[in-house]
Amino acid sequence: MAQAWAMALHGGAGPVRDKTYEREEAHMRALLDEGAAMLDGASSALDVATTMVKALEASGFHIAGKGASANADGVWELDASIMDGATRKAGAVAALVGFESPIEVARAVMEKTPHVLLAGAGAVAFAEKHAMTRVADPHAYYTPATSRLVAPGELAHGTVGAVVKDKQGRLAAATSTGGLLNKMPGRIGDTPLIGAGTWADTRCAVSCTGQGELFIRANVAADVTARILYARQSLHAAAAGALADMAALGGDGGLIAVDADGEIATPFVSEGMKRAVANAGGLRDVRTFR
């Protein structure tokens, strides 16, 4: 049955069995209630996706926003993107240094510039001009939410994301990340790349998490809508197929997706993926493992 509204959240595909994720799950449960109240009202998919990702960034529970880790030079370079399915407008920031909410800056790029993606110094200048909240002291602000002890050279990862269908049938997707632990300075993953880590149109909204290089090489988020459009696949088949294509290259991770009927898919090929789903029919579910 088609759902008037539906939403899914993720907190990254980095979880491992030797940890529990109770506080992350409790926080996501509270976010589902907040999102549900917004969607029961007149909020747009775009506003709900922004609000959810902003809260996930601020929680410090995931490798995004406050919970992000510094790169190999000790600098916090963050990536984020957002896409509005109804208009196919999109905004993104890459290697952004010094601001609390990369997703807020990405949304401003979408709404206040003729561009889609701003990176590095240009992104900082833009965020400053639009009075986005600064991080005064990175070492005091960030509380790296590493999912486990990471060996030198190991590339563990985490991200947050939201996909939403609202009562008007509009879809939106938003994704924000600190990227890979120990990443090289200047490294940019799939998260700020529209089509790789984030996508929304009138068919589906998708937010990815996992080893970004592989998601870029498989163009995962856009592959989900392509499979729906050209191969007439269901959301579930399209999401699983796009992810399998990435996994065949040797990557791990997962994605969350919602379609125009309010169907939700949350496939992953990693050990776990912090995730939460809700719809107008009363569905509320939060999980980390299978």
Instruction: State the nearest-atom distance from the C-beta of 202 to ligand ASP, in Å.
Output: 25
How are beta strands 275-279 and 253-259 bridged, if at all?
unpaired
Q: Which is nearer to ligand ASP, 3 or 69 (CB)?
A: 69
Instruction: State the nearest-atom distance from the C-beta of 93 to ligand ASP, in Å.
Output: 13
Would residue 209 be called left, alpha or beta, if left means φ above 0 and alpha means ψ between -120 and 50 degrees? beta
Residues contributing to the site for ligand ASP (CB under 6 A): 12-14, 157-159, 177, 179-180, 189-191, 197, 209-212
The angle, 0 to 180 degrees and rounded to 10, between the axes of the packed helices 220-230 and 235-247 is 140
Instruction: State the nearest-atom distance from the C-beta of 180 to ligand ASP, in Å.
Output: 5
Residue nearest to ligand ASP (CB): 212
Concerning whether 198 is annotated as a catalytic residue, the answer is no
Instruction: State the nearest-atom distance from the C-beta of 204 to ligand ASP, in Å.
Output: 19
Which of 87, 113, 146, 159 does the annotation list as catalytic? 159
Is residue 185 within 8 Å of 221, Cβ to Cβ?
no
Give long-range contacts, CB 8 A cutoff, 24+ apart: 113-118.
116/90, 116/91, 116/92, 116/194, 117/81, 117/91, 117/92, 117/93, 117/192, 117/193, 117/194, 118/92, 118/93, 118/94
Taking the CA atoms of 7, 11, 12 and 13 in sequence, report the sign of the dihedral they define: negative
Q: Which is nearer to ligand ASP, 3 or 207 (CB)?
A: 207
Q: Which is nearer to ligand ASP, 146 or 233 (CB)?
A: 146
Q: Which is nearer to ligand ASP, 1 or 151 (CB)?
A: 151
Cα–Cα distance, 161 to 56 (Å, whole number) = 8
| Catalytic residue list | 159
